[in-house]
Amino acid sequence: MASLAKRADGHWRTRYRDAAGNQHSRHFKPKVYAQHWLDEVTTAVTTGMYVDPGRSCITYGD
């Protein structure tokens, strides 16, 4: 599930839950950027191509 909401400071907050149920959020100034990013993440999660941001920096040796 994903959501998009306007904050009091004028920024847009996007939120989504990954396959493990963890919530992630990000803030954007223009709504167009927020919606575009949210669409990309939602597509990646539903198609199985999602990479957890916290695990994306693990090196091959680890």
| Residue 25 domain boundaries | 2-47
Q: Is residue 54 in some structural domain?
A: no
Whole-prediction pTM value?
0.71
pLDDT at 55: 64
In this structure, are strands 2-6 and 23-28 parallel, antiparallel, or unpaired?
unpaired
Q: Is residue 8 in some structural domain?
A: yes
Total domains in the chain come to 1
Q: Are 9 and 16 in contact (CB under 8 A)?
A: no
pLDDT at 8: 95
Confidence at 19, pLDDT banded by 50, 70, 90: confident
Where does residue 46 rank: exposed (0-12), middle (13-18), buried (19+ CB within 10 A)?
exposed
Question: Average pLDDT of the chain?
Answer: 84
pLDDT at 18: 77
Residue 57 has pLDDT above 70, yes or no: no
* Burial state string for 49-62 with b = 16 or more CB within 10 A and e = fewer than 16: ebeeeeeeeeeeee
In this structure, are strands 23-28 and 12-17 parallel, antiparallel, or unpaired?
antiparallel
